[in-house]
Amino acid sequence: MNLQRILWIAVFAIIMMESSGQKTHKSVLLQHDKKIDAIIQQMTLEEKVEMLHGKTMFASAGVERLGIADVKYADGPFGIREELQPHSWAPLGLTTDKATFFPTGSALAATWSPELAYEYGTGMAREARMRGKDMILGPAINIQRIPTGGRTYEYLSEDPFLSSRLSVGYTKGVQENEAAVCLKHYALNNQENNRGTVNVIIGERAMREIYLPPFRAAVEEADAFGVMAAYNKVNDRWCSENDILQNKILRDEWGFAGMIISDWGGTHSTVDAVTYGLNVEMPDKKYLGQALLDSVKAGKVSEEIINLRVREILRVRMEIKPVPEEKANKEITSQPAQQKIAYNVASKSIVLLKNNGILPIDISKKPVIAVIGANATQIMATGGLGAGVKTLYEVTPLEGLKNKIGDKAEIVFAQGYVPVVFTWGRKSPEQLEKEAREKEIKTKELTKEAMDVASKADLVLFIGGNNRSVETEGSDRKDIKLPSGQDELIQKIAEVNKNIVTVLTSGAPNDLNVVNSISKALLISWFNGTEGGNALADVLLGNISPSGRLPFTLPVKLEDSPAYALGNYPQGNKNADVFANLVSETDSIGVTAEKKSEALNRDPNTANYSEESLVGYRWFDTKKLPVMYPFGYGLTYTDFNYSALKTDSEKYGKNDIIRVSFELKNTGKMAADEVVQVYIHRINPSVEWPEKELKAFSRETLNPGESKTLTLEIPVKNLQYWNETKHAWDDDLCNIELQVGASAGDIKFKKEVALK
Ligand code: GLC
């Protein structure tokens, strides 16, 4: 670690100590401290240390002698994971643990609805409690920095404000229904490649303004009780022993009073981990078991630190009542109330990107509909490595269409392509060769069948996209191309039938160049949960209008996105092929070949966030780069008119609230939701800013002809920047432009006001 960085970290730590004590939030957990004093008095050192590591795969110990129950965890964040064997990943084989599969993170984010996030959290809590759980390992709220991120589907958005609003909603929903959240993965776990070893190098300002806000909001506004330390390092320190992240910022500054657990296998020391804030090593006891006991006895760790870590756990334990053994796992986890929530979220998440009028589908003349694509029958609840959901049921797109269409049209299904299937372990070259040959033969057959079915249909519904083996925890995608030769297949289909509606059930961005030009309508329907197929069918048939909005930018090509364009990702030589053809030329955005060649030599375990705050649309808008579809974009089956913009003042002080009002009218023939968005552009700032930033939004339902006067509020405090010299939030009181629109790429009107 070079001297400069050591100095920076030391200075930052000192400043943080000075600025600490400015706790912004008082947790309800503090009310238990008096009782906890008495409990700790009675505990032996052994009992205290027993609480600080895994007891089973998904539980940590209480104090049986004192009647304090174990803490029971359940993976989320989009469904309560099946019951596992106590000391392995193998299922217990219950029948009652079939849960509701809620739409995954990016789908929830596509609703742009904190209210639905609250409902979502409520549903998750209800099912967690039926399973006897105390803490849900979710929400997963890392910012989507790279389009290829293996867990982009699980996370929420590329934007910190949207992610924050939804994190607060989810957290309140869970914690107002007798369970605790565990915000993950704290922090800067934005890639899966080398996730267990990568060292994120990031400036304070980008960390504070982009990557930490969702965690901060859930702590300060929703009093989150749990946090999961991420696998990676941040500025040379493992997250699970990162004093700045865990003590200085999370606890001292934000007022977090709960407990921090490691990610599974993400603990790296004994003394540092427990001193710098980690409460529980999960699921093992390599560091915080006997080694910790020995360290205390050897005087390397004070019992005062142990008492503090125990106190933080007991606060959560006292707040979250344990579920009596006899009540847990007694009936099927998934209940109609939660299935309804899953439908509500799914039906508001579907994003209509393009429609030449072919939608809603007209079934008045009993058309023949060719449903082509393996994703039409693909189960998305499980797959890949990540925490899947053993779900009671999952309505696939094909089932949803059959449910809603019945005999009013003739549906003919063709698989179309061979889906990607996740398999464990490495395969021999011979095995790979054999499988490739078989896949080629199968693909030819499926293509022929698809063309045949399409040639006889009035309409082709192409259901493609990724699946849970393509997007998975543990690895990032190599590119964003549609898998399994879908581009080639749709081109073949278009030779025999031009009437193509394409639905992509993906969780993360895809390269849409081929499907967008060929399809007369194009939608994203996500990994959309137990009721996803019914919601999709309702949208396609016009029973409801689509109303989802993109939570991330869809780039024209992957190389345009910031971490790729700057050669910051993927790291290291092993990806030389990715940049080999780019290194020799200066890119359209002027990033020289030297920068890229520098990247080639970068240690695969160093993630250089040199794009800083220019993540997602912040990058594309600042660099004036064209995108395929912008952040916040989504069509409906109606039209909305914006008019009469005004603000309640022309200038605002640093403690004021900006109120921007305008008229919104549904000028079409169908009820629908509009998500109005307000971005801020700084006109004459004193520091550098992205071109614009989202600072307010609202989802509004309007009937045909209905109009509403809307007022959105932006506290000037929310426009501060993190001053890296002062190591504190600071005001940039400049002239700003309020930009009101339907997406980052569709600003309806602008208004300049002054911050004084
Ligand atoms: C994993 C994931 C984390 C999950 C935990 C338990 O490695 O990173 O999100 O909650 O292990 O399954």
In this structure, are 268 and 388 located in the same domain?
no
Which residues are near ligand 1 (CB < 6 Å)?
75, 137, 184, 263-264, 387
Distance 275 CA to ligand 1 centre (A): 23
In this structure, are 164 and 281 located in the same domain?
yes
pLDDT by residue (tens digit) across 19-36? 444 566 899 999 999 999
In this structure, are 255 and 189 located in the same domain?
yes
d(CA 333, CA 348): 24
pLDDT by residue (tens digit) across 88-137? 999 999 999 999 999 999 999 999 999 999 999 999 999 999 999 999 99
pLDDT by residue (tens digit) across 430-448? 999 999 999 999 999 999 9
Index of the ligand 1 atom closest to the CA of residue 154? 9
Q: Whose CA is nearest to atom 11 of ligand 1?
A: 264
Residues 6+ apart with CB under 8 A from 154: 77, 78, 104, 105, 106, 140, 386, 473, 507
Domain end: 324, 341, 375, which one?
324
What's the pLDDT score for residue 576? 44
d(CA 553, CA 210): 16
Q: Whose CA is nearest to atom 3 of ligand 1?
A: 263
Which residue is it, tokens 């890119």?
A: 587
For residue 299, give Cα distances in angstroms to 303, 306, 310, 571, 743: 9, 12, 18, 41, 58
In this structure, are 70 and 131 located in the same domain?
yes
What's the pLDDT score for residue 175? 98
Paired residues of 669 in beta bridges: none
- Does residue 467 lie within any of the structural domains? yes
Q: In what order do the strands lie in the sheet with 237-238?
A: 237-238, 233-234, 199-201, 606-608
Domain end: 324, 340, 374, which one?
324
Cis peptide bond prior to 555, omega within 30° of 0? no
What's the pLDDT score for residue 8? 53
What's the pLDDT score for residue 577? 47
pLDDT by residue (tens digit) across 33-55? 999 999 999 999 999 999 999 99
Q: Would the pLDDT of 502 be above 80?
A: yes
- Buried b / exposed e over 393-410, threshold 16 CB at 10 Å, is ebbbbbbbbbebbeeebe
Range(s) of the domain holding residue 580: 556-629
Q: Would the pLDDT of 600 be above 80?
A: no
- Does residue 336 lie within any of the structural domains? no
In this structure, are 191 and 236 located in the same domain?
yes
Distance 529 CA to ligand 1 centre (A): 20
Q: Whose CA is nearest to atom 1 of ligand 1?
A: 264
Catalytic residue among 159, 263, 476, 560: 263
What's the pLDDT score for residue 385? 77
CATH of the domain at 737: 2.60.40.10
Distance 388 CA to ligand 1 centre (A): 11
What average pLDDT does this structure show over 544-573?
Answer: 93
pLDDT by residue (tens digit) across 318-359? 999 999 999 999 999 999 999 999 999 999 999 999 999 999
Index of the ligand 1 atom closest to the CA of residue 283? 6
Distance 385 CA to ligand 1 centre (A): 10
What average pLDDT does this structure show over 153-179?
Answer: 98
Domain end: 504, 530, 552, which one?
552
Q: Whose CA is nearest to atom 8 of ligand 1?
A: 263
Distance 338 CA to ligand 1 centre (A): 23
Q: Whose CA is nearest to atom 5 of ligand 1?
A: 264
Distance 142 CA to ligand 1 centre (A): 13
Q: Would the pLDDT of 214 be above 60?
A: yes
What average pLDDT does this structure show over 62-88?
Answer: 97
232, 264, 473, 476, best to mutate for ligand 1 pocket (most atoms within 8 Å of CB)? 264
- Does residue 635 lie within any of the structural domains? no
- Does residue 147 lie within any of the structural domains? yes
What's the pLDDT score for residue 294? 98
Index of the ligand 1 atom closest to the CA of residue 58? 6
Amino acid at 198: V
Paired residues of 500 in beta bridges: 460
d(CA 455, CA 450): 8
What's the pLDDT score for residue 17? 46
pLDDT: which is higher, 6 or 691: 691
- Does residue 331 lie within any of the structural domains? no
Q: Would the pLDDT of 582 be above 80?
A: no
Q: Would the pLDDT of 10 be above 60?
A: no
What average pLDDT does this structure show over 611-629?
Answer: 98
Distance 263 CA to ligand 1 centre (A): 6
60, 137 contact by CB (below 8 A) = no
In this structure, are 625 and 654 located in the same domain?
no
d(CA 77, CA 117): 12
CATH of the domain at 454: 3.40.50.1700
471, 152 contact by CB (below 8 A) = yes
What's the pLDDT score for residue 595? 64
Distance 231 CA to ligand 1 centre (A): 10
Index of the ligand 1 atom closest to the CA of residue 266? 7
Comparing 243-247, 434-438, 552-556, which segment has the lowest mean pLDDT?
434-438
Residue 575 binned pLDDT confidence (cut-offs 50, 70, 90): very low
- Does residue 3 lie within any of the structural domains? no
Residue 521: DSSP 8-state? E
Index of the ligand 1 atom closest to the CA of residue 75? 10
- Does residue 11 lie within any of the structural domains? no
In this structure, are 594 and 571 located in the same domain?
yes
Region for 520 from its dihedrals, namely left if φ exceeds 0, alpha if ψ lies in -120 to 50, beta otherwise: alpha
Q: Whose CA is nearest to atom 7 of ligand 1?
A: 264
In this structure, are 90 and 128 located in the same domain?
yes
- Buried b / exposed e over 548-581, threshold 16 CB at 10 Å, is bbbbbbbbbebbbbbbbbbbbbbbbeebeebbee
What's the pLDDT score for residue 237? 98
Index of the ligand 1 atom closest to the CA of residue 81? 12
Q: Which helix (H) or strand (E) holds 749?
A: strand 746-755
Comparing 8-17, 22-31, 631-640, which segment has the lowest mean pLDDT?
8-17
Structure tokens at 147: 């389009």
Residue 731 binned pLDDT confidence (cut-offs 50, 70, 90): very high
88, 104, 137, 141, best to mutate for ligand 1 pocket (most atoms within 8 Å of CB)? 137
Distance 641 CA to ligand 1 centre (A): 45
Index of the ligand 1 atom closest to the CA of residue 231? 8
What's the pLDDT score for residue 423? 81
Could you give the 3-state DSSP secondary structure of residue 375?
helix
In this structure, are 390 and 299 located in the same domain?
no
Residues 6+ apart with CB under 8 A from 510: 465, 466, 480, 481, 482, 504, 554
Distance 81 CA to ligand 1 centre (A): 11
Q: Whose CA is nearest to atom 6 of ligand 1?
A: 264
Q: What total of structural domains would you count in the chain?
A: 4
CATH of the domain at 275: 3.20.20.300
Residue 603 binned pLDDT confidence (cut-offs 50, 70, 90): confident
- Does residue 676 lie within any of the structural domains? yes
58, 75, 135, best to mutate for ligand 1 pocket (most atoms within 8 Å of CB)? 75
Distance 264 CA to ligand 1 centre (A): 6
Q: Whose CA is nearest to atom 2 of ligand 1?
A: 263
CB atoms within 10 A of CB 471: 31
In this structure, are 623 and 687 located in the same domain?
no
33 among known catalytic residues: no
Residues 6+ apart with CB under 8 A from 149: 155, 190, 191, 192, 476, 508
CA proximity to 158, closest of 744, 738, 680? 744
d(CA 154, CA 81): 14
pLDDT by residue (tens digit) across 380-389? 999 877 789 9
Q: Would the pLDDT of 267 be above 80?
A: yes
Average pLDDT, the chain: 94
Index of the ligand 1 atom closest to the CA of residue 182? 10
In this structure, are 500 and 423 located in the same domain?
yes
CB atoms within 10 A of CB 9: 16
In this structure, are 619 and 582 located in the same domain?
yes
Residue 112: DSSP 8-state? T
Structure tokens at 620: 């594309």
d(CA 31, CA 474): 39
Could you give the 3-state DSSP secondary structure of residue 1?
coil
Index of the ligand 1 atom closest to the CA of residue 137? 10
473, 475, 476, best to mutate for ligand 1 pocket (most atoms within 8 Å of CB)? 473
